[in-house]
Amino acid sequence: MFVASLMALFFVFATSWTQCAFAHAVLLQTQPAEGTVLAESPERLVLTFNEPVTPLVVQVIDPTGVRLAPDTIDVNNGAMTVRFSQTLAKGTSLLSYRVISPDGHPVAGSVSFSVGHPSVGVAASDPTPPVLKVLIWLARVGFYIGLLAGIGGAFFRNWIESDLPATKPARQQMSWLIKAGLLSAVVGWGLQGLDATGAGFESIVSPPVWGVALSTSYALTLATGALAMLVALVAGSSFRRPTGKLLSAAALAGAGAALSLSGHASSAEPRALMGLAVGLHGICVAFWAGALLPLLDASRRFDFWALLRRFSHFAVPAVVLLGLTGVGIASVQLASPAALLTTAYGQILALKLIAVALLLCLALVNRFWLTPALADGAEHIPRKLRTSIQAELALMVVILCLAGLWRFTPPPRALLIADAQPAHLHIHTEQAMVDVTLTPGHAGLVNVGLYFQNGEFGPLTPKEVTVQFSLPSAGIEAIERKATPGPDGLWSAGPFNLQPAGAWDLRVDALITDFSKAILEDRIEIRP
């Protein structure tokens, strides 16, 4: 009954998560705009997002490097107004923000502007300091070890080793792995909070930091994983009872569910299938990784051969499933084979594949040479097998370390999506305003979508709209097209052949009455 409830709980978690939208907040406009030189210190700064956001951390780093906290932050729909009482010193300041989208994904960035004259010294930096990155990575690897090797060990003891006497060290090893995993989960939770808020290490004691981490999808993975590890711990101590079997199976399923709840791979489309593939991949890894320590421990026993044969019986289908899911996930994530070498994500995958290939070689040697030889009773075989299993263990750790690095690299699939991302521009005059979307936002044939509102955010239906682009710096004169209205109040124009990349001048003419026209002009950056 308990197991059934746990399974149901995992299922509810998994399905509710996949229903979440992944549309993150996009910064449309800032006042002052990036690179503006102001005559005087601004009284307020306005960041306009495409959807309502919740500010996490907003600060201004002045030209001397001092961090200033705002007096007030007001959010009105997507417009976030930040007010300061301090006067900024002359030079370039940096407004750094971190907000949370309605989907719980933190969005961070910075805008630099100058008072009086630009200065050097303040630059937008990688928001995650290197020390924090290393700690996040270590916590993740620790979590993986507990989740996969620990839970896998509990499963092995209950299902494969069930009728054979387990040694005390084997039992302790598994318990320690799980405890390390649980500790890593807690540490990982706090570090995730520090990363989400951009706060310093001293803030690890502040509850909001931990609260913010709860709104990220990784928290779901940590919570599910921790629950699964606790269940595995119970399963480990109820060894050789039916509950032990059921609990360890539930824990194994939980490990798979935990991995499928967050991460780059399981958020790829088709999400349900990718989540399932990630979950199965994780379960197979757990099965394999969990078996290594108990096998090593059992290698000195007289009945080692029987145990090894039983493990092999399950290991072959597990490895096949592991390979199939792995190839499936990689092919979706990589988008193209070349990405294996050209992107950081691909390079990590390439290293991981090398480690997996070595691991498979060892497994094949064990399965088709050492195991039959052991059955024949050759004397030196147990020692060779031990060495081989130790090497497998080391490779497994390397693989988990590599997998942990993916936390910091967007997959090529996401890079492609990012490349296809539209460019946005919001032009606001007293008379009218328009949200312009350029799809895609990079050089080439670009379609333009326009949504108009009057100066007070009310509805505005122009009689006629024309759009023109020009790039005077490259000697490209205006390319003009009439826009056509769509049924939903959205106007579209194009395609425009915007080549080369650069800061194009955009002009939108909206005829409001026969005698009045709103001319909306701005510059928009077209990516290469």
Which residues are 525's β-sheet partners? Answer: 503
* Cβ proximity to another protein, 521 vs 525, nearer residue: 521
505 in Cβ contact with 523 (< 8 Å): yes
* Nearer to another protein (CB atom), residue 481 or residue 517: 517
SS3 content of the chain, % helix, strand, coil (to 5): 50, 25, 25
- Element counts in the chain: helices (H) and strands (E): 14, 18
Distance in angstroms (rounded) separating the CA atoms of residues 241 and 245: 7
H runs (alpha helix) in 19-118: none
How far apart CA 60 and CA 456 sit, in angstroms, is 29
Please give the torsion angle defined by the CA atoms of residues 329, 330, 335 and 338, in that order, rounded to the nearest 10 degrees.
180
Q: Is 38 in the site for another protein (CB under 8 A)?
A: no
Quick one: 56 or 465, whose CB is closer to another protein? 465
Near another protein by CB under 8 A: residue from 456, 484, 515, 528:
515
How far apart are CB 76 and another protein at their closest, in Å?
Answer: 27
Taking CB under 8 A as the rule, does residue 481 contact another protein? no
Task: Enter the tokens of residue 420.
Answer: 């296809």
Q: Which is nearer to another protein, 421 or 466 (CB)?
A: 466
SS3 category, 475: coil
Q: Does 511 bind another protein (CB under 8 A)?
A: yes
276 binds another protein (CB under 8 A): no
Name the residue among 412, 440, 421, 420 with its Cα closest to residue 336: 412
> Rule CB under 8 A: is residue 39 a binding residue for another protein?
no
User: What is the signed CA dihedral for 25, 23, 191, 10, rounded to 10 degrees?
Assistant: 150
Among 1, 487, 514, 528, binds another protein (CB under 8 A): 514
Cα 454 to Cα 430: distance, rounded to the nearest angstrom: 8
Q: Which stretch binds another protein (CB under 8 A): 266-274, 371-379, 490-498, 515-523?
A: 515-523
How many residues at the interface with another protein, by CB under 8 A?
Answer: 8
Side-chain-facing half-sphere of 427: CA atoms under 13 Å: 21
Indicate which single residue of 179, 442, 517, 527 sits in contact with another protein (rule: CB under 8 A): 517
- Decide if 42 contacts 32 (C-beta within 8 A): yes
Of the ranges 91-99, 215-223, 394-402, 514-522, which one interacts with another protein (CB under 8 A)? Answer: 514-522
Minimum CB distance to another protein, residue 454 (Å):
17
Residue 327 in contact with residue 428, Cβ under 8 Å?
no
**Rounded least distance, CB 427 to another protein, Å:** 12
Shortest separation between residue 509's beta carbon and another protein, angstroms: 8
The only residue of 69, 519, 523, 525 in contact with another protein, by rule CB under 8 A: 519
Between 419 and 458, how does the x/- string for binding to another protein read (CB under 8 A)?
----------x-----------------------------
Residues that bind another protein (CB under 8 A): 429, 511, 514-517, 519, 521
